[in-house]
Amino acid sequence: MKNNKITIALAGNPNSGKTSIFNNLTGANQHVGNWPGVTVEKKEGSFFYEGIEFKVIDLPGIYSLSASSIDEKIAREFLIQEKPDVVVSVIDSSNFERNFYLALQLLEMGVNLVLNLNMIDVADKKGININEKVLSLILDVPVVKTIANKNRNTEQLKKAIATAAKKERVSNFEVKYNKEIEEAIKNIISKFPSQNMPANERWLAITLLEGDQYLFNMAKKVYNLTDIENIALPEVNKIEKKYNDDILSIIADNRYGYIKGLVNEILTRKKKIGREISDKIDSVVLNKFLGIPIFLFLIYLTFQIVFTVGSPLVDWIGQFFDWLGNAIAPLLIKIGVSSIVVSFLKDGIIDGVGSVIVFLPNILIMFLLLAFLEDSGYMARAAFVMDKFMHSLGLHGKSFIPMILGFGCNVPAIMATRTLESRKDRILTIMAIPYMSCSARLPIYVLFTSIFFPKHQGLIVFSLYLLGIIIAIFVANSFKILFFKKETAPLIMELPPYRLPQTKSALLQMWLKSKIFLYKAGTIIFFTVIIIWILSSLPVGVEYASKQSWIGQIGTFFAPLLKPAGFGFWQAAVALIFGILAKEVVVGTLGTLFGGAESLSQALPHYFTPLSAYAFLITSLIYVPCIATIGVIKRELNWKWALLSTGTSIFLGWFLAVLIYQIGGLIK
């Protein structure tokens, strides 16, 4: 217990329902950051039980503690270095044998474990019954059954966690390996020094047998074992020679042998009759002819709903900000407030920030629908649907999952490439993600489609998202041809079962992601529109936001470059320049220069035609990812790739906008 808080770590396989358990335990009392030293997302939350605060850490979803991926390294280093008071191992009950491998490793590590048999309803439908009382007796740990997506038995889980936290001892569980491994474990332990060793020497010996470099280094530093390689290596050579196999496979076989024996004791299966519903659905959505059309239809339907439901709400919020600006200006002037302050509040803050916030309903609805698609189990299948097509371009089907995440935000999508084993696949996917249309671009789409394409908003935005996917794949394939020649490995990935999305969980995910949008509106966008207002007001004496103002002079310098694309006026140039900070700033800039939402709807048709408006949308989609995305590319790869991504996107954004506008002009 640290600082009067009990620290809990949630560990489990991907698709085990671990995130839902985290949401059920912590509710809205959670936040997202990054793990120290890496850009992998870290989720923390807390809850109170019997007057005690429990801090919950949601570890990355992993299959084992073998530390072959960055997620596994993060999870294990946290367990070793931070020593949480309780570890909750979340298990998909319908796939007990595979999921329990991680729990078994946690038990061997000697953590204070609570076993959470989740998705028990899915197991029941498969005819699987797990005797949790016998399992608890065998393992000497608390076992709780839950249905996370329905928030069932969360209180029982909290009680088990609180009880485990009070225990003075942890389970003395051991896997009995074959004779040769057991002898090797004893020999390694006998060579350990008597001082500064962890309580669980057996676990350390096993991990050293597995040849874990991290444990080698840790043992050298922490346990003063200067000759640690020579302790384990002779034992490994002896075992591998006897069994004519590598030590990792031998140890894994022993563990799976134990798991099979355990399953015989605690698990019974009823005979399955006929095909499951999931199989029947998959026969349609994964069909080689229907799969891609169904995926495209669902994405199209998503945006139709976003605009059909969201547009009236956007109009109401826009009318409110226009009323607020028009009401506050004369009131402030009446009480003697300086005209400069009035302009700052109305033209800068209300019109600038307000022109972005009006699109919050669309953002909320989109995140909610994407959360439903993800929770249902469909989004994982989208990667399989696209796998064959991706392979035809020399890319990995698994790359499509981070690319889909890019619909929300490019930054966490780039972080998600950590799950890709090949560095080549990671680089190509990272270079493709900035072209996936993130939610920050949505306010631009909503603004322009509501003015120039009011009857076809969903179709126009769908075309932009589809174009983003096509360009992303084109860029990745081009870079593969230029920099990489190696064949792509086939896609091997688990398909989660279909589930009814949990409304509470989806709403929570929607809010947490939308908070990022509001945070940007309150920080980056707020300060940017202040800078734009200042530049629009200087030098002293010029008309506000005129061509003679400093911002007008900046825009006038770059505007000729945009003339071939159909929007060669200085306001568009300024909006795109400041949009590099955050894509929402494009709308905020236009709002600051032209006025609020109502003023924009009247002003922009004087500058754009439907054709040039679509060209502007294409530029907004493609050109320069936001500064945060550039930064994360640099951290994940290096400056070379970050600059290459930036330069490529600037050229493509300009070239395609010019191409569309010029060809469209010839057709007209």
pLDDT tens per residue across span 481-523: 888 765 554 444 556 667 777 777 778 777 776 776 677 666 7
Assigned CATH topology for domain 5-166: Rossmann fold (3.40.50)
Confidence of residue 542 (pLDDT cuts 50, 70, 90): confident
pLDDT higher than 70, residue 32? no
> Which residues of the chain are in CATH 1.10.287.1770 domains?
179-269
Residue 228 confidence (pLDDT): 63
Least confident of 53-62, 407-416, 574-583: 407-416
Residue 613 confidence (pLDDT): 95
Alpha helices in 167-290 (DSSP H): 179-190, 201-209, 213-222, 228-243, 247-266, 277-285
Interatomic CA distance for residues 102 and 420, integer angstroms: 20
Residue range 211-265, pLDDT digits in tens: 877 766 766 666 666 666 677 888 888 888 888 888 888 898 889 888 888 988 8
Q: Which range scores top for mean pLDDT: 62-66, 171-175, 310-314, 663-667?
A: 663-667
Please, which contacts does 498-502 make with residues 24 or more away whose CB atoms are closer than 8 Å? 498/277, 498/278, 498/281, 498/376, 498/377, 498/378, 499/122, 499/149, 499/375, 499/376, 499/377, 500/149, 500/376, 501/149, 501/371, 501/372, 501/375, 501/376, 502/20, 502/148, 502/149, 502/150, 502/151, 502/375
Interatomic CA distance for residues 449 and 445, integer angstroms: 6
Query: Which residue is associated with the tokens 């109305």?
Result: 346
Mean pLDDT calculated for residue range 542-548: 80
Query: What number does CATH give the domain 179-269?
Result: 1.10.287.1770
Residue 473 confidence (pLDDT): 86
Residue 491 confidence (pLDDT): 46
Mean pLDDT calculated for residue range 627-642: 85
Residue 85 confidence (pLDDT): 93
Residue 274 confidence (pLDDT): 43
Mean pLDDT calculated for residue range 259-281: 75
Interatomic CA distance for residues 505 and 527, integer angstroms: 33
Bridge partners of 52, per DSSP, are 49
Interatomic CA distance for residues 582 and 586, integer angstroms: 8
> Which residues of the chain are in CATH 3.40.50.300 domains?
5-166
Residue range 133-184, pLDDT digits in tens: 999 999 999 999 999 888 899 999 999 999 999 887 777 888 889 888 999 9
DSSP 375-424: HHTHHHHHHHHHHHHHHHTT--GGGHHHHHHTTT-HHHHHHGGGG-S-HH
pLDDT higher than 90, residue 95? no
Mean pLDDT score across all residues of the chain: 82
